[in-house]
Structure 1
Amino acid sequence: MGLGFNVCASIFMVLSLMSMVGMWLVGESSIYVEVKVVDVSSEMLDVMVLLDVISLSFVSLVFFISACVMVYSISYMSGSEMSSRLKGLMVVFVFSMVLLIMFPSLLGVILGWDGLGLSSFLLVVFYQNNRSLASGMITALSNRIGDGLLIVAMGVCLIDGHWCSYYEMGGLVSVLIGLGCLTKSAQVPFCAWLPAAMAAPTPVSSLVHSSTLVTAGVYLLMRYSVVATMADVLVVLSLMTVIMGSVSAMYEVDVKKIVALSTLSQLGMMVFMVSLGFKDLCLFHLYMHALLKASLFLGVGAMIHVRSEQSVFFMKGGVVDSPGSSAVIVVACAALSGVPFLCGWFSKDLILEALLSGVSWVYSAILLVGAVGSVAYSGRLVRMCVAPPIGFSPLSRSADCKVMLLSMGVLLISLLMSGPFFYYWLSMESLVVLIEFDKLSGLMVISLGLAFVNSWFGQQSFSPQWSDMTIFRKSLWLDFRGMLWFLPLLSGEIGMGALLLSDLSFRRLEQGWMEFFGGKGVYELWSVFFSVHQRSQSGGLNMSMKLMGIWFFILVVGVGLNLI
């Protein structure tokens, strides 16, 4: 079992290094390879591969994180009989993402997109229980909306006789692709599936919420010319996603869902930057977020693996029994908050500079609230999971696993090294740099977030006497802010309503009057006729003459009545 994960990790690491070498060789140029597969009359099927700094760097990052996750899975899935199935599904998942990145035509995109959807559904229902099945159905059905939109876009493109690469866009096609990307990147109102996908094993969650499934939509938004046709829609939906993810993360009690909701908030920030035209800055933040979120998921997963519990109320004191995992969580949360010299600081500092360089003050204020929220829920996660309880006694040995610490240690190094590397490789220094006072905006955001966390935890609990209506309003508000604005409930109710409607139509229409007056009714009518005819033939000539006499009598009576 461990050998299989080791082999996959080695292959992924080699492919990551090869992609980095290719990125260095390509430089600022783009290599567009097109291979003709079928050419019959006017129909053409070509395989196109795009090699540039964006595709190669993205592929390198995906393989690097996948290699670390494979090493982590050696210990996480030790003793499990389903480890080989997990390994196979993860390999399919990773190469589906590579297919989506490297092949620019809609044909390659839909193949990679459907591969991600199918493998993600199988990974979410990996543990084969009712909760996993419900989560998998929400994930699959939400993403199938995007699949349908992409298929419609392919049909529109085929009318013009091409497979629509990055450089062959129409207005309708760009709108369809943009709406499809919103489903994959879990923007409002398609965000209910993202926390539900936490039913998958932790290594899968680390892949899904860092550099693969959830970033596929953002990648396509950057590649295709979608912003020009629906920029205003993207701005509004992304800002709603930022605020909703931040608020919900501050009230969630499931540790994995807290990290998932933080991903939701950061995805909204990425889509917001794309909608404003800052594609390079969005790509830079996507890379930094992928590394820190993979580290955070693995650190949280290691603590869950030790405690067999995911509630924040039972996770306190991680620094005592899991100091290595706690250190990873602290550094990853610090990077997510934008602490200087960590990878998140490089991208978030540039985002704040871009906001202060002429963007509408309303948009800037909302995104600044989201940035403060990222510090707040990161600080809450550290305080609830890492900080020691009062009066603790030190343990004799650590519960950290050395194999898990190895993979987390590699990612921890990347949190320190990747910021300057991608900053200069993607030429981020060419972006706007403000005056010294505005450069302190990142530190001000961190200070406000930490002050909020400190005041929040410092509040004394009390139980006032509420009236019935006040209790109802308070409960409604708590459910609203803690349940993604009721979107999961709405998604479930809509899905349940659709199932009930389909069941009603099946029983009342397809198996009801449509069946009676349709094929089944005609079949039964003809069966009766042929049965009578067969009996008349088997009864001999006498029976036939009697039947003919009856029919003749009926005919005479009918004519007589007609004459009268």
Structure 2
Amino acid sequence: MLWPLSICFLSFTFLMLSSLSLFILGLYFIMSDLSLMIEWEIFSLNSSAVVMTFLFDWMSLLFMSFVLFISSLVIFYSEEYMYGDLNINRFIILVLMFVLSMMFLIISPNLISILLGWDGLGLVSYCLVIYYQNVKSYNAGMLTALSNRVGDVALLMAIAWMLNFGSWNYIYYLDAMNMSESMIIIAILVMLAAMTKSAQLPFSSWLPAAMAAPTPVSALVHSSTLVTAGVYLLIRFNPIIVCGNLGLILLLISGLTMFMAGLGANFEYDLKKIIALSTLSQLGLMMSILAMGFPKLAFFHLLTHALFKALLFMCAGAIIHNLKNCQDIRYMGDLCSQMPLTSVCFHVSNLALCGMPFLAGFYSKDLILEISSLSYLNMLSFFLYYFSTGLTVCYSFRLIYYSMVGDFNFFSFHSLQDEGWIMLRGMLTLMSMAIMGGCLLSWILFPTPVMVCLPPTLKLLVLLISVMGGWMGYELSKFELSYKLQALKYYLTITFMGSMWFTPLISTYGVNYYPLLLGEYMYHVWDQGWSEQWGGVMFTKIFRYLSIVVQYVQNNSLKISMISFVFWGTILVMLMLP
């Protein structure tokens, strides 16, 4: 293998240089308060112009630079992770198509071009989820694709309804929409599309199922691309989501998603699924602060979360590699002494996820929780915010105890070590960003200091909840099987909480299975039933017997009595009846 000429190295170099360029350009746009819109007229037909529009502002440029930065490191990491795969070039091309679709979505102020990126993400994600080509991957890919189609249909209906405004460039109409009656319909459709793509309740089950994809894909999907597309769309549409009661509905749904994911992760033993549920929890946090009308804060957490979540998946991939593709955390343990560098990266990303002070997650999560305490918030939402934060720390400490600290329960004869330098370089680069990225972004996005005045009890509540969550996680990790196991008394409750409140059953049967069964039934009854009987089959019978009558008339040289006509007419009418 010629390393300098490999497709991985070339893609990594190009994406990294593009990321740095866009980051510098984004800083310039922030400082100059610039916003640039480029219109490219593809063709004009009968004075109707088909125009492709690109929006470059500080938000799109910063987001693009982060997506390209993470995807470049993921491709760099994949060179070693996917080593030996005969189809690695296909894999890298699919990842590049995935990133390109995300770029289209980010820079589009037009719903038609957003749909181009939106559907591109859906189709390429299907190809990536079924990459390993087994039954489990196919089922997961179909669940992912069909669940996301609900949002795609909602976006298509929003495009149709936007015709009331005369153009699909929604960016021009956000202020006008606030005054119009059409606003509520477009807002509902866009919110539904964003909820399916960002896996909010009741569409949450596809996110853990998508873990069937290779780990580098999971790192990319869960950090900055597929699942963040819905959040980004709502950030752009925020002015019309907040007004009315839609914001309250979104706040409730996202809070319940956050709570459900945090609860489910404490009963999960699959390493990748625990991290996937943590992504779901953080998406709920972003959606809830969006519903309260703070899009800039949601965007801030979106970027910081992308850094440490990509690192968390990379570390998980290195651990799974070493444990011969075993993902059960009960088999892991004492990895600190066996894989020290990977363990350091894993701990840093986990602590950033918990909101450890002065790591990347702290700056955004702490600010979101303080703003929520400062805002006009009902008791249920307040409880969901803080209890879900405690659950995040709880499952993180449980994961650390099982994988890093406890006893090693895999093969007695084993050879564990840190992965090669290619994977470690990617992980260490992201670790530096997971440490410094939060303060760097807070200086860029919030250059003017803002005072959040809260009483000491509310100020210290976040810290108290985090400490209690960590202690609970430690206590949960010490549970062991014995004849005195009390958990069996609450088996149904634990099954309900550990299976994401039965959303996989709702999605599998309610969204996919029964509608497809109904479609098959309608196909048999209508397409092959009544429409066939009254359509093609009936006309075939009519023309067949008419031709018989015509032949009879011709053969008798028109010497025929009226009785014959009546007789054949009666037969014809009887045959026409079903």
* Aligned residue identity for 1:444: L
Matched, 1:425 2:430: no
SS at match of 1:48: strand
Distance 1:41 1:331, change over 3 A: same
Of residues 33, 37, 43 in structure 2, which corresponds to 1:32?
A: 37
Distance 1:281 1:394, change over 3 A: farther
Matched, 1:64 2:69: yes
Matched, 1:83 2:99: no
5+ residue gaps, structure 1, are: 558-564
SS at match of 1:213: coil
Contact 1:319 1:388 in 2 (8 A): no
Contact 1:321 1:395 in 2 (8 A): no
CA distance in 2, matches of 1:341, 1:465: 40
The corresponding residue for 2:477 is: 457
The corresponding residue for 2:420 is: 401
The corresponding residue for 2:20 is: 17
Distance 1:34 1:430, change over 3 A: farther
Contact 1:281 1:428 in 2 (8 A): no
The corresponding residue for 2:242 is: 227
* Superposed displacement of residue 417, structure 1: 1.6
Distance 1:130 1:532, change over 3 A: farther
* Superposed displacement of residue 341, structure 1: 1.4
CA distance in 2, matches of 1:490, 1:397: 41
Deviation digits for residues 433-484 of structure 1 (CA, Å, limit 9, x no counterpart): 3368354444323211111112223456544599xxx96x733212210111
* Aligned residue identity for 2:357: P
Of residues 304, 322, 326 in structure 1, which corresponds to 2:320?
A: 304
* Aligned residue identity for 1:227: V
Distance 1:98 1:111, change over 3 A: same
Contact 2:126 2:144 in 1 (8 A): yes
* Aligned residue identity for 2:267: Y
Distance 1:447 1:175, change over 3 A: same
Distance 1:296 1:547, change over 3 A: farther
Contact 1:328 1:412 in 2 (8 A): yes
Counterparts of residues 358-377 of structure 1 (less than 5 Å)? 358-360=375-377, 362=379, 363-377=381-395
CA distance in 2, matches of 1:6, 1:131: 31
Counterparts of residues 64-143 of structure 1 (less than 5 Å)? 64-143=69-148
The structure with the largest alpha-carbon Rg is 1
CA distance in 2, matches of 1:353, 1:556: 86
Greater shift in the superposed pair: 508-517 or 70-79: 508-517
CA distance in 2, matches of 1:410, 1:233: 39
Identity of matched residues, %: 37
Contact 1:37 1:45 in 2 (8 A): yes
CA distance in 2, matches of 1:221, 1:554: 72
> Which 4+ runs in 1 deviate beyond 6 A?
390-397
Of residues 521, 524, 540 in structure 1, which corresponds to 2:541?
A: 524
SS at match of 2:286: helix
Deviation digits for residues 317-356 of structure 1 (CA, Å, limit 9, x no counterpart): 3224322222211110010011111101111111121122
Matched, 1:238 2:254: yes
Contact 2:396 2:473 in 1 (8 A): no
Distance 1:535 1:77, change over 3 A: farther
* Superposed displacement of residue 41, structure 1: 4.9
The corresponding residue for 1:192 is: 205
Matched, 1:180 2:198: no
Distance 1:317 1:553, change over 3 A: closer
CA distance in 1, matches of 2:563, 2:231: 79
Distance 1:166 1:553, change over 3 A: closer
Q: How many residues align?
A: 550
Contact 1:281 1:347 in 2 (8 A): yes
* Aligned residue identity for 1:430: P
Matched, 1:333 2:320: no
Greater shift in the superposed pair: 499-508 or 411-420: 499-508
CA distance in 2, matches of 1:428, 1:364: 28
CA distance in 1, matches of 2:409, 2:100: 49
The corresponding residue for 1:561 is: none
* Superposed displacement of residue 497, structure 1: 1.3
The corresponding residue for 1:416 is: 435
The corresponding residue for 1:43 is: 48
Of residues 206, 209, 219 in structure 1, which corresponds to 2:222?
A: 209
CA distance in 2, matches of 1:286, 1:485: 26
Matched, 1:487 2:503: yes
SS at match of 2:349: helix
CA distance in 2, matches of 1:40, 1:522: 42
TM-score norm. by structure 2 comes to: 0.89
The corresponding residue for 1:562 is: none
Contact 2:332 2:409 in 1 (8 A): no
Greater shift in the superposed pair: 323-332 or 391-400: 391-400
SS at match of 1:57: helix
Matched, 1:379 2:397: yes
Contact 2:289 2:372 in 1 (8 A): no
The corresponding residue for 1:268 is: 284
Contact 2:250 2:288 in 1 (8 A): yes
Instruction: Tell me how large the CA RMSD over aligned residues is.
Output: 2.7
Contact 1:323 1:400 in 2 (8 A): no
* Aligned residue identity for 1:408: M
SS at match of 2:131: coil
Of residues 495, 506, 510 in structure 1, which corresponds to 2:527?
A: 510
Greater shift in the superposed pair: 370-379 or 421-430: 421-430
Deviation digits for residues 155-180 of structure 1 (CA, Å, limit 9, x no counterpart): 11123320132231331222211221
Greater shift in the superposed pair: 356-365 or 100-109: 356-365
Greater shift in the superposed pair: 519-528 or 88-97: 519-528
Of residues 265, 269, 272 in structure 2, which corresponds to 1:249?
A: 265
Matched, 1:6 2:9: yes
Contact 1:154 1:164 in 2 (8 A): no
Distance 1:396 1:551, change over 3 A: closer
